Amino acid sequence: QESAYPQRTAFLLRKQWTLYSVTPLYRFSNAHLRDYARLLSAFIAAEKQKGLAVEIGVELDIKVAVSSLPDLKGSDRDQAAILVQLSLRSPASPKNSEEKLIWSGWFCCVSGDDLSDNVPEDFTCLPLFLANGAESYTSIVGSWFQKTFDCCFRRLALSPLNLSWMAAMWTGCKVDKTASAMELVFSVPCLPHPLDISYAIHPEDAKALWDTVQKTPGEITQEEVDVFMDCLYSHFHRHFKIHLSATKLVKVSTAIASAHCDGIIKFLQSQYLTGVLMLLTELAISQIQ
């Protein structure tokens, strides 16, 4: 599903986002976003000053903005995504103008009916959280949300199985421009020194392979994903005599997006943003249920 306003979500592209799953927020209301920003900025100030003398009456140096991203939805039943941004007021000109964005994070739910259909009205389902910026801020913002809306954040790791699905799905997507190569990174376990194998494939070759594997367009089965990966593995084995199936897939990069098993993702195409988010929402929901 293509986003109607690609420019509104363009700022989410080409950044590394760390993935978290979040349990439903209790008594969260879209009507109070401004108040939340105010409370959160006070919380951040207090947290940052922990261990230091409390300054009194000084203007807070971190500005918090909480806003809604109505475009990021799969269906009307999904909650609008919520964006949290922290920016640093420049000390030179305390009155507005130059604000530097230091951290951003957003909650979203794309086709998360599985979860939202099953919770009472008091709860808001935004099961996927993505953060970019220093982890210390993620920690402060996350704790504030946990305390305020009685939810739990957990890192969302991507298993090799998930990654191979992504590899297959993204291979099949059409991209206008000449796309960059598809790259798969494997890590070899049980070695004294870490060894990573990078496997780059021309996107058109990968697409051609996938087209022979996929039976019904628009539908993907686990079996097809397995066949696709097995083909790639046997090709590699023919050349290098290395069984990639014995290693662990740790990273997938394509023209659509790149994903790392630690739960880090980078979106590259705004037209496929909601599609990728739908998969990630599904993974987040399975982690909290």
Nearer to other proteins, 61 or 226 (CB): 61
C-beta separation of 153 from 142 below 8 A = yes
| Distance of closest approach, residue 6 Cβ to other proteins, in angstroms | 32
Between CA 186 and CA 183 the distance in angstroms is 10
Of the two residues 13 and 102, which places its CB atom closer to other proteins in the complex? 102
- Nearer of residues 71 and 114 to other proteins, judged by Cβ: 114
Which residues of the chain form contacts with other proteins (CB under 8 A)?
A: 23-24, 26-27, 29, 32, 35, 38-39, 41-43, 45-48, 50-56, 58, 91, 119-120, 122-123, 135-136, 138-140, 142-143, 146-155, 288
CB of 124 to other proteins, least distance (A): 12
- Nearest distance from C-beta of residue 153 to other proteins, angstroms: 5
Which DSSP string corresponds to 111-150?
Answer: S-HHHHTTS-TTEE---EEEEEE-HHHHHHHHHHHHHHH-
**Minimum CB–partner distance for residue 16 and other proteins (Å):** 16
**Residue 151 CB, nearest approach to other proteins (Å):** 7
> Cα separation of 130 and 134, whole Å?
13
Distance between CA atoms of 173 and 147, rounded to whole angstroms?
A: 41
Identify residue 190 by its one-letter amino acid code. Answer: C
Closer of 93 and 143 to other proteins (Cβ): 143
Report the length, in residues, of the chain: 289
| Of 202, 201, 211, 210, the residue nearest 178 (C-alpha) | 202
CB nearer to other proteins: give 27 or 100.
27
